[in-house]
Amino acid sequence: MYRPRIVGRGNVPERGPVLLVSNHLATLDTLIIPTSAARPVQFLIKSSYFTGSGMLGRVKRWFFSSIGGVPVYRATGRDARAALDAGSSILRAGSVFAVFPEGTRSRDGKLHEGHGGAAWMARDTGAAVVPVGLIGTGTAKPLSHLPPGRPRLEVHFGEPLDLADLEGVPDGKARREITERMMVAIARLSGQERSGSVNATSRD
């Protein structure tokens, strides 16, 4: 429907655990990344998609489970750690896991500061970290990108980050550095301005 232009798909390693780290502009992102990647992708998604009641709730649970969604709770402590552990388990199994380091989608179009969960998973599993830059998903509407001449959505897969120099660096410092490198790479791929602050404007 959206005819995404996919760049750098070959940067995703063909084998082994891969952590995709992406900017987040719209709910559409959770569909665009898996359908653009060369390998099956699983990802964190807000828990409300799994807890609804009635027929609509059952349909949402089925749909988001079938496309690889793993529920994440907007909380600190045990629930948040359980979500990170779930992601690490997927990576340890040699699969591809995608995460949005900003935590929530950006409503102002800027790239906000990353949280440390993605870096924790990278450090915990040794997975290859591949940055992803999404362009145009924040303004996409159904069928809006079909007419000739209209801008196309773009998905840019960057080269895996080189983290070899962080071997032996204390965990806290290493996670902060990994997070910063992730956000620098995502900004370069997406062309977004960095806000310099944590995203507090979105609840989903």
pLDDT at site 125:
95
Confidence class for position 47, pLDDT limits 50, 70, 90: confident
Q: Is a pLDDT exceeding 70 seen at residue 58?
A: yes
Per the prediction, the chain carries an average pLDDT of 87
Read off the amino acid at residue 45. I
SS3 label, residue 193:
coil
Q: Where are the alpha helices (DSSP H) in the chain?
A: 29-36, 48-51, 54-66, 78-92, 117-125, 171-190
Q: What is the mean pLDDT of residues 123-148?
A: 83
pLDDT at site 60:
81
pLDDT at site 145:
55
Q: What is the mean pLDDT of residues 32-38?
A: 91
Q: Could you give the strand order of the β-sheet that contains 96-99, starting from the edge strand earlier in sequence? A: 5-7, 154-157, 128-135, 18-22, 96-99, 41-46, 69-72
The residue with greater pLDDT, 129 or 138, is 129
Q: What is the pLDDT of residues 59-100, one digit of tens each?
A: 888 887 777 777 766 555 556 677 788 889 999 999 999 999
Q: Is a pLDDT exceeding 90 seen at residue 166?
A: yes
Class of residue 23 by CB neighbours under 10 A (exposed 0-12, middle 13-18, buried 19+): buried
Q: What is the pLDDT of residues 145-159, one digit of tens each?
A: 556 666 789 999 999
The residue with greater pLDDT, 15 or 2, is 15
pLDDT at site 52:
79
Q: What is the mean pLDDT of residues 118-124?
A: 94
- Structure pTM? 0.86
Q: What is the pLDDT of residues 168-188, one digit of tens each?
A: 999 999 999 999 999 999 999
The residue with greater pLDDT, 52 or 34, is 34
